[in-house]
Amino acid sequence: MLSDPRLYVALARFDEELADDAQRAGCACGGRLHRADYPRKPRGGPPALGDLHGRRHSFCCDTDGCRKRTTPASVRFLGRRVYFAAVVVLVSAMRHGSTHARVAELREWIGVSARTLDRWRAWWRETFTATVVWKSVCARLIPAPEVETLPASWMAAMGEMHDAERLQWILAWLLPLTSFTPGRGARFLMGV
């Protein structure tokens, strides 16, 4: 799934819708928002993606004295991480039960080091489980996913879905964690 460019094209379309919604909402001061995207060099996607995926949607208020930046939530980027969000989720899920051979294979395929995989695992087990998003996941899925095997246990707890659907739902649930701009969060894909 990670090597299929269609996944990234679909996620780019979702991000564009999120950006359009944020721009229409305008700035908290009442000003209009102008496009002020910034470059990203995301890792882990297929080489054929091109420049479309190297931009993070962002806006700047046109009101003198305000000029605040608004960066909408994203299904492609998980905060400041350099890897695509889909890569962080799926590779972290694949990592469980990993052997040295599997880590070496992931490093060759995605370019992710064992140290980075360890940081991602710590994030899922410690940082993520302290968020409101995690509490929401636990409230909606019975039984709740096991912390030790996140995000694999989360994907498994979602029942009868295709892997691509599970990934999209997880990325939608993670939306509030993808931007530091308040109020630009997780209603997308989930009707929240």
Where does 26-151 have alpha helices with state H? 85-95, 100-110, 114-122, 132-140
Round to whole Å and give the CA distance between 108 and 105.
5
User: Could you tell me the two tokens for 188?
Assistant: 């997308």
Look at the chain and count its residues: 192
- Could you tell me if residue 185 is inside a domain? no
Q: What is the pLDDT, as a whole number, of residue 182?
A: 53
- Could you tell me if residue 116 is inside a domain? yes
Please answer whether residues 43 and 84 qualify as being in contact, where contact means their C-beta atoms are separated by less than 8 angstroms: yes
Q: What is the pLDDT, as a whole number, of residue 98?
A: 59
pLDDT tens track, the chain, 192 positions: 888 889 999 999 999 999 999 999 999 999 999 999 999 989 998 888 877 688 999 999 999 999 999 999 999 999 889 999 999 999 998 866 556 787 788 788 888 888 998 899 999 999 999 999 999 999 999 889 999 999 999 999 998 899 899 999 999 999 999 986 654 443 333 333
Q: What is the pLDDT, as a whole number, of residue 125?
A: 94
- Could you tell me if residue 183 is inside a domain? no
Instruction: Report in angstroms the alpha-carbon separations of 76 from 30, 52, 128, 171.
Output: 28, 12, 18, 8
> Residue 39 is part of which domain span?
5-177
- Could you tell me if residue 112 is inside a domain? yes
Counting Cα atoms < 13 Å in the Cβ hemisphere of 65 gives: 4
- Reference 8, options 52, 69, 71, 67; nearest CA is 52
Q: What is the pLDDT, as a whole number, of residue 53?
A: 84
Q: What is the pLDDT, as a whole number, of residue 96?
A: 65
User: Could you tell me the two tokens for 30?
Assistant: 């009442």
- Could you tell me if residue 186 is inside a domain? no
Whether residue 143 has a cis bond before it, omega within 30° of 0: yes
- Could you tell me if residue 167 is inside a domain? yes
pTM of this prediction? 0.87
Q: How many domains does the chain have?
A: 1
Q: What is the pLDDT, as a whole number, of residue 62?
A: 95
- Could you tell me if residue 52 is inside a domain? yes
Backbone angles phi, psi at 70, to 5 degrees: -120, 120
- Could you tell me if residue 139 is inside a domain? yes
